[in-house]
Structure 1
Amino acid sequence: MLCIAACESKVKKPVTNVNLFSDSVVVDIYDLADRRDTEALLAYLDHDNAEYRRLSAEAFGSVKDTMAIPKLGILLNDDHAEVRKAAAYALGQSYDSSAVRLLVQALSGEDSVMVKNQMLEALGKVVTQPQIELLYKRPIEDEIKEGLAWGLYRAGLRSVYDGVTTEWAINLLDSANTYLTRLGAAHYLARIKGLDLKKYQKEIIDALTRDQSVNVRMALASALKNLNSKAVIELLSKEIIGDNDYRVKVNSLKALYNYEYEEIKVALYNALTDKNVNVAITAADIIYEKADSSDEIYITEAALKATNWRVKAILLGSALKITNSKSEIFRQIKEQYESSKNPYFKAALLTSLSDYLKGYDFIITKTFAAEHPAIATAGTEALVSLRMQPSFPEELKPAFADIFKQAMETGDIAMVAITSNLLSDTTYHFKEEYDSIDFLYTAKSKLSLPKDNEALQVLNKTIAYFEGKDDIPVTVNEFNHPIDWDLIKTIPQNQKVLVKTDKGDITMRLLVNEAPGSVANFVQLAKSGYFNGKNFHRVVPNFVVQGGCNRGDGYGGENYSIRSELANLRYQEGSVGMASAGKDTEGTQWFITHSPTPHLDGRYTIFAQVTDGMDVVHQVEVGTVIQSVEVLGDKQK
């Protein structure tokens, strides 16, 4: 092999601002990947040029065709470490257990630390439960603990784990290990369902209080969610009221969700007054789910005093659930609705009525007369929530069935998608409510691929259920939007864009080499002014802020789709990704992450990275206006 582990860190590539696509062969490789042309792309795995082999191997991480597995397995023995690493990544992306043998065999003879780490992580994506020992039953030198941590995490996401993997994760939290090792271990403990962590409470608490990385600490806060302990409650409560990063506070609150309300409500009350609105929103959400009538006075007063509209709406909904004076709270909600000009506040107020059956007339009226899609979408969701109540009155079922039929007949993508999910749920026996399902086909006639993929997925499922069929039509977006290579060739690899919002400016560096199709799409939209005046329509505390929807409710897009480009990248703080309704359904919507979100790795395209203005990203709220997106000129790079 040309390069051994000891020399890898010393190899430096020449610094240049020219992207990869001045090379016509590179363009061909990426274009074949974009077109999902497996047969033609396979030929490049045999190319004499190592860089072409690397690029074509990594491309199969997006194409995900199992036909490539045998040839990718051969590349695990390539002379070039970067090629072997790309092949390992692509094999992991196959999520096919036939790749296990290839990876295990290659691992035994691999001398590159970089490649070993990649192979271990890839192995975590493909091992089955009986094979889990293949991850850790080998000598684990310090240099490959990072790969072990992420291999354990990837396997655990698929519910492939055992007691030994959990013990390894605990040991990998040791401060002597690298940041990425500790981060992978912390996310294993935080995200894997069903773990019994009781005997590791001390180790997790110790790591949470001492780790120097806020990213590790916030993950460890989440890991404490299933430990029913006073010590944990006290620690998380301190994290919430302390002068900590708001993201640790948010995760601490979410961890407390599983505890008894009486034990955590003081922490929730404190969080409601936090200077960071994401903390207050998280606390309000938990109060909505868990509060009881003993808190009626406090929550009602907190709702009326709340200055943030989102917190106010959530608390009004909470008060409505627990108060005996429901008519008065309902009056307050209606009054707030009528006096507000903020469509997102109005939408949130309709959501606050999701448990109040007597408010259905108001919800129906506002839903079908909505002046903004976000209001209609929230209203439809509220009506569905009401219908799903276990005690829903028999006498109202025909009326609600007619309401949902009307919603379907509008052809509105959000109404169709939300209503279809309810109608196909066998729990509610909607088959018995309709003499004809012509209205479903009427709704379908108003939808089309690729724009309405998300709604068509669930509508086809609903039609199949009503007709008693097991086969559901596949809703796949055919190739319809080739990459504009002429445009791509003009974009430097360090190209930046400036996103101006009414909260401040955000600068992002486009990853043109890693995601040319997504970058070309974004640049075209930005230069046309597409994003100007639109809103960030979705904000999930310590997760993402999302924009680019032409409706403003998350269901919008244009009549085309682009391909998923799943380069070997990790979602970190400020990663910019493409939203989708499944593989190869991306369009105009994009999001920015608040913190590392590794469960998105290899599943959602990363096409940019925030370089300046993360403080603004952390302030973005639902409704924040994107004033403009400017592709910066050479002088500003």
Structure 2
Amino acid sequence: MKRNNKIFVFTVFALALGAFLFFNNFFSTQSIFLNKYENKKLQNVLKLQLARDTEALEKLYQKSKSAEIKASIISALGKIQDPKSEFFLMEVLKDTLSDLESRKEAAFAIGQFRNNKNAADLTNLITSESEKSFVDEMIVALGKVGGEAQLDFLVHLKESNHQYAFSCLQGLSELLAKGIYNEQAVFNILEKFLSEDEMYRTLGAQYFSRVPNLDAVIPYASITGLINNETDTDSRSKLILSLRHYPKNGDVKKFLLNHLETEKSPLVLMEALQALNSFSLTYREKKKVIPSLSSENKGVSYYASKLIADKMIAWEVEYWEKVIDRISYSKAKSILLASMVKNSNKKSVLAKVKSLYSSSSKTHERAWYLDALCKDTTQWELATKVIMQDTSQQLKTSALQSLINAYKQSDEQVVKAVYPKIEEEFLAMLKVMLESNDEGLISIAASSLRDPVLGYKRLIEDYEFLYTTKDKLRLPLQYEALYELNKTIAYYEGKDEENLDPSVFLKKELNTKTLATIPSDGIVKVETSEGNIFLRLNLEKSPIGVQHFVENLHKGYYNHKRFHRVVHDFVVQTGCHRGDGFGTDAEELIPSEFTSDYYEKGTVGVASLGKDTESSQWFITLTDTPRLNGRYTVIGKVIQGMDVVERLSEEDYVLNVSWENNHLLI
């Protein structure tokens, strides 16, 4: 008996050891981080999506018995947004026998068409359905397709069915984006505001900040009362920003100035500074901004400098000259100096800007100080020299934009006293830029040629040179230049702009090997000059966009890229190899994958010029940003390091992007 027990134990041990060795060998050669796209049928859906074969997708939906496959097909049709599929999608939406996920995807897709003809069907379905998540999706879709009639419906629905309060607010926000709102809608959102959750309050506060004539709709005390009782920073910041709609109210101005002295949150301070820009300020009131100017938070310093720069008058320059060295953030300092140059003829101010420009070894700082120098017409030759001779693409495009802005804002008589033939010389320079083969310079020059302030249409009779530039573009690498040229050509022809079709440049093939080995919950570490940020990728909903991001990660493309665009209460953006926002990795464009994901704080999205024009640039939102919902592809979410994101500025860089825990999936 004992011998048999020993044999049994030995047999179990041998089997366990054999299983361990087998699986250890298997997992050493195979990725253990699997995702649903190992499924060949789901891969086939993605291939049809890339081929934009909507007819084949519709047929596949009819044949498929899998709820997961059906939902992925409807999602693919929604991402393609072919008008020919609109009827099919509505039929799926109406079909009560269809699975819930497919119907939810269909509701989102219908909303994306933004076709008012679908409003009646959506309204009827909302009133007859009871499944909350499905109704929520249709309510948001109704806001996207709706008009005045749907405004009243959503207000009434929100009043009578509190369970749909947030989705109704989303729908009302979509209508507001089209300029559709009324007093009842505003009061409806205001009612019981503080009793709702944080996400609702943040969206509601953003709604108030975007209502054009808020001061004529609700008294300022209603807003300040909410601010005094609000505990959520994001919500409070947007409530503060909404006070910009009361520009003639002295009590509101005093309220905002007091916040500069007492507020601890940088985000709230930024919005208070922006709101104050709508008010007239006395010299004494401007001096209250000094602590914000010298703030260590770069966003606060930036908005403070912008406020003072916009409000500065000539006799104040001497005072602000004494304050300038208290500012540590170079961009904020350059903005204040630019206003000082513009508002005075003080040689000491100009000499300081020249010194800062000459002594800086950083391209972005030189660009900022050169912008300040351009406020003096005698320095335009320096900017022109940079544009024509410098080797830095970033500095050249910045110099061109600065020179154009300065020219537009200048006194014509003053300029012609220095440059008698300024119009002809400027036009000649813009034509040279169009011949430069540089996508940034071409884009800026093309945009300038249709600027009504510059008025070049009256001087140009033969615009064949625009077509010559267009024919020489390297596409899709220079797609942004094509985008601007297309608008300018239409402007000179006096015709409607030709609709560009980016589909000819879109990614056509699916790399199934890479896709199948990306972890469904993959975490990426982004090392920056301010610290580390950790992102969880959104593979399930945006497989093509995530795959492209991962391919660039493997190439090391994102390493050593500058955060070229930072809007401190909106987004930080990177992924441009030029450092000026005009650069991409675009051997091919990446198709949009718009989903119902909500752009909350810390969402990672892909930058674009419109649908199906995505490439290498990506961004992280600094606050809830619902106006991006359904308009930009979501590829991930910050799960750690949001404090790092909030510290980033245009002085910062991505150092390295890699898989967390050394997940090398090649």
Q: Same fold (TM over 0.5)?
A: yes
Q: Which residue of 1 aligns with 2:581?
A: 554
Select which of 449, 452, 464 maps to 2:475: 449
Give CA deviations for 1:103-146 in whole Å, capped at 9, x if unaligned. Answer: 11111111122222222221111111244212223462221111
Q: Distance in 2 between matches of 1:44 and 1:163?
A: 47
Q: Which residue of 2 aligns with 1:28?
A: 44
Select which of 70, 73, 80 maps to 1:56: 73
Q: Distance in 2 between matches of 1:590 and 1:23?
A: 28
Q: Which residue of 1 aligns with 2:569?
A: 542
Q: What one-letter code is carried by the residue in structure 2 that aligns with 1:21?
A: Y
Q: Secondary structure at the match of 1:509?
A: strand
Give the TM-score normalised by structure 1.
0.92
Q: Which residue of 1 aligns with 2:344?
A: 323
Q: Distance in 1 between matches of 2:46 and 2:167?
A: 28
Q: Which residue of 2 aligns with 1:90?
A: 109
Question: Residues 319 and 391 of structure 1: is their aligned pair in 2 closer, same or farther, counting only changes over 3 Å?
Answer: closer
Select which of 427, 451, 455 maps to 1:401: 427
Q: Is the 8 A contact 1:453 1:475 kept in 2?
A: no
Q: Which residue of 1 aligns with 2:11?
A: none
Q: Distance in 1 between matches of 2:184 and 2:336?
A: 44
Select which of 231, 236, 240 maps to 2:256: 236
Q: Is the 8 A contact 1:35 1:479 kept in 2?
A: no
Does residue 234 of structure 2 align to residue 215 of structure 1? yes
Q: Which residue of 2 aligns with 1:520?
A: 547
Task: Please state which structure has a larger fraction of its residues in helix.
Answer: 2
Q: Is the 8 A contact 1:299 1:318 kept in 2?
A: no
Does residue 398 of structure 2 align to residue 375 of structure 1? no
Q: Which moved more, 1:468-477 or 1:445-454?
A: 468-477
Does residue 221 of structure 2 align to residue 199 of structure 1? no
Q: What one-letter code is carried by the residue in structure 2 that aligns with 1:167?
A: F
Select which of 556, 560, 570 maps to 1:529: 556
Give the TM-score normalised by structure 2.
0.88
Give CA deviations for 1:229-285 in whole Å, capped at 9, x if unaligned. Answer: 233223333333334321111112111111113285244323112231110011112
Does residue 384 of structure 2 align to residue 364 of structure 1? yes
Does residue 138 of structure 2 align to residue 119 of structure 1? yes
Q: Distance in 2 between matches of 1:454 and 1:192?
A: 32
Select which of 447, 451, 467 maps to 1:421: 447
Q: Is the 8 A contact 2:371 2:403 kept in 1?
A: no
Q: Which residue of 1 aligns with 2:633?
A: 605
Does residue 91 of structure 2 align to residue 74 of structure 1? yes
Q: Is the 8 A contact 2:505 2:588 kept in 1?
A: no
Question: Residues 616 and 427 of structure 1: is their aligned pair in 2 closer, same or farther, counting only changes over 3 Å?
Answer: closer
Q: Is the 8 A contact 1:450 1:560 kept in 2?
A: yes
Give CA deviations for 1:173-220 in whole Å, capped at 9, x if unaligned. Answer: 2x2223332232222112243444553422222222222322211221
Q: What one-letter code is carried by the residue in structure 2 that aligns with 1:497?
A: V
Q: Which moved more, 1:348-357 or 1:550-559?
A: 348-357
Q: Is the 8 A contact 2:81 2:113 kept in 1?
A: yes
Q: Which residue of 2 aligns with 1:292?
A: 313
Question: Residues 390 and 234 of structure 1: is their aligned pair in 2 closer, same or farther, counting only changes over 3 Å?
Answer: same
Q: Distance in 2 between matches of 1:505 and 1:367?
A: 36
TM-superposed CA distance for 1:426, in Å, is 4.0
5+ long unaligned stretches in structure 2: 1-31
Select which of 269, 292, 315 maps to 1:271: 292
Q: Percent identity?
A: 28
Greater Rg over alpha carbons, structure:
2
Select which of 157, 169, 174 maps to 1:149: 169
Number of matched residues? 620
Q: Distance in 1 between matches of 2:386 and 2:662?
A: 49
Does residue 519 of structure 2 align to residue 498 of structure 1? no
Select which of 281, 292, 302 maps to 1:261: 281
TM-superposed CA distance for 1:295, in Å, is 2.3
Q: Which residue of 1 aligns with 2:20?
A: none
Q: Is the 8 A contact 1:367 1:379 kept in 2?
A: yes
Q: Distance in 2 between matches of 1:286 and 1:62?
A: 41
Q: Secondary structure at the match of 2:218?
A: helix
Q: Is the 8 A contact 2:293 2:301 kept in 1?
A: yes
Q: What one-letter code is carried by the residue in structure 2 that aligns with 1:33?
A: Q
Q: Distance in 2 between matches of 1:379 and 1:504?
A: 31
Q: Is the 8 A contact 1:146 1:181 kept in 2?
A: yes
Q: Which residue of 1 aligns with 2:147?
A: 128
Select which of 567, 571, 574 maps to 2:602: 574
Q: Distance in 2 between matches of 1:150 and 1:255?
A: 24
TM-superposed CA distance for 1:357, in Å, is 2.2
Does residue 267 of structure 2 align to residue 251 of structure 1? no
Q: Which residue of 2 aligns with 1:5?
A: none
Give CA deviations for 1:284-332 in whole Å, capped at 9, x if unaligned. Answer: 122222221242123222224422211221111021122241x432222
Q: Which moved more, 1:574-583 or 1:56-65?
A: 56-65
TM-superposed CA distance for 1:152, in Å, is 0.7
Q: Distance in 2 between matches of 1:596 and 1:469?
A: 38
Q: Distance in 2 between matches of 1:58 and 1:212?
A: 38
Q: Distance in 1 between matches of 2:333 and 2:185?
A: 44
Q: Secondary structure at the match of 2:650?
A: coil
Q: Which moved more, 1:453-462 or 1:464-473?
A: 464-473
Q: Distance in 1 between matches of 2:533 and 2:513?
A: 27
TM-superposed CA distance for 1:468, in Å, is 5.0
Q: Distance in 1 between matches of 2:360 and 2:166?
A: 51
Q: Distance in 1 between matches of 2:124 and 2:60?
A: 23
